[in-house]
Structure 1
Amino acid sequence: MTLIFGHRGAKAYYAENTILSFEHAIEMGADGIELDIHYSKDGEIMVFHDFTLNRMCGVNGSIFDYTLSELKRFKVQYRNQYQEIPTLKEVLDLILSLQVKHQKKIVLNVELKAGSDFYPDIEKNAMALCYSKLSKDQVVFSSFDHYALKEIRGLDAMAQTGILTASALVDPWEYVKKLGANYYHPAYLSLTPRLLSEISHTDLKVNTYTVNDTTIAKQLMLNGINAIITDSPDIMVELRKGI
């Protein structure tokens, strides 16, 4: 069965990467949530997508230019919603409460927007925080910074990692194996019929983003894709019921 992960929560309906968005994604039946992390100026791990605050908060500057207390005064704005920027700890606590409420284990996909070359020790600190709340088998660390994923595997060989790519790789199963990763996280447009056919003859597990078209999603599910990351988890959960 293909898993459904809410992209930044339920991004199609709620302010992305906020408690409201994550909570509703799980309420919609998502198996997990995907989020993005940065450091604040004072080293708190914040959940936010962009490096800069302009698009979502209407504030000049980068997220790492502000302390936690300063960031908490800003609001993520979307469709007349005004939500706080959460910390990773706050999201983890939410997941724990939602697991009790819904009586199911929730998968968390943590995307590192940058590794230690930019945010010193963020791999180690994010892992420690996640593992203080959740089991290792329900946390996946992904990144376009593949050095960050290599660092994570060096710190803990049991950590689950996913290789994010925006364009097609030749023989991605070989690259994933080289980095000791667990998953391949490609943009869905790079999953051509030829590549999907090649992947079907390997043990490569694919978690693809950001799938919002039901026709495409259905074909991916029928091809046995491991997980779909979507802005509309409710639609994808309903689609999966008919497959």
Structure 2
Amino acid sequence: MTLIFGHRGAAGTRPENTMISFKEAIRLGADGIELDVHLSKDHIPVVIHDETLDRTTNGSGFVKDYSADEIVRLDASWKFEEYKEEARIPLLKEVLEWASASAEPFIINIELKNNMIEYSGLEEKVINLVKQFELDERVILSSFNHSSMVLALKTEPRIETALLYTDGIYKPYDYARRAGARAIHPLMRTVKNELIDLSRENSISVRPFTVNDEKEMHMLFEWESDGFFTDYPGKAIEIKKSIK
């Protein structure tokens, strides 16, 4: 079954990486959400994609230079000004608390954004929060920093890890297996049906990103990809229903 993950929530129609975006993706029927995590100045995991505040908030500068209290007060409505009163950067704790209380369980893919800035202790802090809310079986940890995923696996083997990449890797299923990962999350343009078949034979899940094109969605459903990430989960769900 091909699972649909709301990329940064429902980022095509709501301010990305905000609670209203995550809630919209789940309301539409997504199987899971994807979010990004950095550490604040006071070492608290906060949910935002970029290393800096400039693109998606009314703040500026690096996330790491602001306290969590300062960050959560910023306007994160970005290009969706109609949500100006609601859109804020959430703490990871806030998202996991909401997810743990949900009537319908869904998957949370947490991308650790430590490929450009090395946040000391990020893996442990995120894992501790996941365990606090007993979400071990519903969380996937992913990163472009593959050494970080090896460390995460050593810290807590029960939580699934996935390796993100944008350029072709030779036999990525073998590479993932050596790193102890259960999945690869490749850029869509690097994905072929053969990759999905060979990964499946090697017990490695394939979940491409970021899939917003309807033809590509149809293709992934046809190839029976394990899942994919999209800014438009509503569109993906409609296509999935039409195929059934």
TM-score (normalizing by structure 1): 0.93
Task: Give the AA of the match of 1:228.
Answer: F
Q: How far apart, CA to CA, are the structure 2 residues paired with 1:79 and 1:177?
A: 41
Task: Give the AA of the match of 1:146.
Answer: H
Unaligned runs of 5+ in 1: none
* 1:6 corresponding residue in structure 2: 6
Q: How far apart, CA to CA, are the structure 1 residues paired with 2:242 and 2:196?
A: 22
Matched, 1:149 2:149: yes
Matches within 5 A, 1:73-88: 73-76=73-76, 77-80=78-81, 81-82=83-84, 83-88=87-92
Tell me by how many angstroms 1:222 deviates.
1.3
Tell me by how many angstroms 1:74 deviates.
1.1
Matched, 1:45 2:49: no
- Dislocated runs of 4+, deviation >6 Å: none
Task: Give the AA of the match of 1:119.
Answer: Y
Tell me by how many angstroms 1:195 deviates.
3.3
* 1:93 corresponding residue in structure 2: 97
* 1:119 corresponding residue in structure 2: 119
Two-structure CA RMSD over aligned residues (Å):
1.7
* 1:205 corresponding residue in structure 2: 205
Q: How many residue pairs get matched?
A: 239
Q: How far apart, CA to CA, are the structure 1 residues paired with 2:226 and 2:68?
A: 36
Tell me by how many angstroms 1:193 deviates.
4.5
Q: How far apart, CA to CA, are the structure 1 residues paired with 2:194 and 2:232?
A: 27
Q: Deviations over 1:176-218 (max 9, x none)?
A: 1100001010011100345345445443210111001111111
Unaligned runs of 5+ in 2: none
Q: How far apart, CA to CA, are the structure 1 residues paired with 2:135 and 2:53?
A: 32
Alpha-carbon distance change, 116 to 136 in structure 1, aligned in 2, over 3 angstroms: farther
Alpha-carbon distance change, 73 to 227 in structure 1, aligned in 2, over 3 angstroms: same
Q: Match of 1:134, SS?
A: coil
Matched, 1:158 2:163: no
TM-score (normalizing by structure 2): 0.93
